[in-house]
Structure 1
Amino acid sequence: MEMFMSKLLTFLVLYNTYTLSIAVYCDDDTCNLGKELTALVKREVEKGLARAKQEIRPAFTAHFKTGGMIPLAKGQILIFDKVQINVGGGYNPTTGYFTVPKAGLYLVSCTVRSNGGKHLHVWLKKNDNRVTLAYGENWNEGSFSIPVQAAEGDRLVIVHGTGSYVKNESVQGGSISFFSAVFISD
């Protein structure tokens, strides 16, 4: 009489933050079935995650944690460090960059408030190229809200001006000044 040893094999399918555990009871002849089942489940989980990623509509809004006037150096990146929403995780409040998580058309907006008697020039840059300017003067706000076509991985950022016209500029902190983007369509 032939003895079959029954084995308990546990296969873990790991993908990003999802873990799926499959327990398969098998003998020496059927263990390959468990491996095939695990591979099939892993493929299906990956397909489901890819579909979910396509359905995400990235969006973020961030402003300054600190209130009052914030002095700016020429070419300084404005780091809006208080995040209100960050769907898709593309905005980094440590660097000020929005790294596009999904290719498509985005509505990008920014409002900055200038100091009394002073000018304020800030640029939206996409991958180090100037896209548009927000300009404010004497406590007025400079703003823009424009559609931007972006590829996955493109980087958007708000940068203080660098021209000879830039002299002792500062931006109003708190929620008065902000940077945001929202995915519109593929």
Structure 2
Amino acid sequence: MVFVLPEERRRAVVLPGLFSMTVHYCLRYGQVYASPGLEGIACWLPPGETTPTLERLLSIGLRFSPLRVGLGGLWRIGLAERYAARQHALHTHGPHWYLWALGVDPPYQGQGIGSALLKVVFQQADARHLPCYLETQNPRNVGFYERHGFRVVSETPIPHGQGLRLWAMLREAPSTMPSSPSQS
């Protein structure tokens, strides 16, 4: 988000609306999971619905003021979203789950909340032998996701991103092979 909204004050004002839009989109077209006290939230898009569309975004209503984002911010949002969509298409083939957003309030990080929110969909994905995919721009998130079975499938600079990078990560579907050979 630093790329989209480089000014910290503007980012603090706009981010809640952008996150609200993501949550509302996933409430209608995906799945949203939250910890009991809302310390953490995960927004997932299910197989077959992993590409947000402008029509659907408009149907839930804008949750932020484009004027607060500014023309430059809107241009950067579009640029970042198009680039992420290209990476998404490049690294996923067939049905999969897409983790659009995962957030845990900083005072509650490191307490297992994010892990628990991931596991809810991992159980669904594993039952159907489906992979899970995500992108992150935060290098601190990479290790967290790796500990949960994701692997980096690409690490690339974001075009015009002033040095920012995008990590595309994939958690493979569990093997359909038994873990140990059965004896007859």
Report the TM-score range of the alignment, normalised by the length of the smaller protein: under 0.3
Normalised by the size of structure 2, how large is the TM-score? Answer: 0.24
More strand by proportion, 1 or 2? 1
Normalised by the size of structure 1, how large is the TM-score? Answer: 0.24
Bigger Rg, structure 1 or 2: 1
More helix by proportion, 1 or 2? 2
Q: Which has the higher contact order (CA 8 A, sep 6+)?
A: 1
